[in-house]
């Protein structure tokens, strides 16, 4: 089954949106297999956002993720098409373009404080899950109602 890395950023934690975000993924039918709260190290944040290291906002982005004014809640969600669907549920990067009904479209207004991260491809999901979680921190369990969520074809 496909897995993605979703993180509530420090602003999302500070704004008390952790439960709301978990609720949306649970209610959709996805399975939570990893969950942790931490203040990431600078090295972790820099690796996580390595693709953006040349951007003018990179330093500020790393500082905001790591300054410890609030932790990050990292999660691994599993289920059918969860990488692409997760990105749809997040909404566009810039809240000015996020549709209403998406997490960003409903709860934030600024691109520099867009409350949530989601992996954007299979490759980045794999990279990010490995970066944020050890194998023994991922739960191997069956969602009992899975046949009511996924059809065989």
Report the nearest approach of ligand GTP to the CB of residue 121 (Å).
10
Q: Which of 114, 117, 128, 133 is catalytic?
A: 117
Residue 129 CB, nearest approach to ligand GTP (Å): 14
Q: Per CB under 6 A, which region of 16-24, 29-37, 110-118, 136-144 contacts ligand GTP?
A: 110-118
**CA-to-CA distance for 26 and 89, rounded, in angstroms?**
12
Beta strands in the chain (DSSP E): 3-8, 31-38, 72-78, 116-118
Residue 32, contacted partner among ligand GTP, Mg ion, none, CB below 5-8 A by kind: none
Interface with ligand GTP, residue 101, by CB under 6 A: no
Q: Which of 101, 129, 98, 128 is nearest to 113 (CA)?
A: 98
Active site residue 117: yes
Alpha-carbon distance values, 146 to 9, 16, 74, 104 (Å): 29, 29, 23, 28
Among 4, 66, 102, 114, binds ligand GTP (CB under 6 A): 114
Least distance to ligand GTP, CB of residue 148, Å: 30
Which active-site residues does the annotation give? 117
């Amino acid at each position: 089954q496909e897995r993605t890395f979703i993180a509530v950023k420090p602003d999302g934690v500070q704004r008390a949106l952790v439960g709301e975000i978990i609720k949306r993924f649970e209610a959709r039918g996805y399975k939570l297999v990893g969950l942790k709260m931490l203040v990431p190290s600078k090295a972790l944040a820099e690796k996580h956002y390595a693709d953006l290291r040349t951007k003018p906002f990179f330093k500020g982005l790393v500082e905001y993720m790591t300054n410890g004014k609030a932790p990050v809640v990292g999660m691994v969600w599993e289920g059918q098409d969860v990488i692409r669907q997760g990105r749809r549920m997040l909404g566009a990067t810039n809240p000015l373009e996020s549709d209403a009904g998406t997490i960003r479209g409903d709860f934030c207004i600024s691109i520099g404080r867009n409350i949530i991260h989601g992996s954007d491809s299979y490759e980045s999901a794999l990279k990010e899950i490995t970066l944020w979680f050890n194998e023994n921190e991922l739960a191997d369990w069956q969602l009992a109602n899975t046949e009511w969520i996924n059809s065989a074809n």
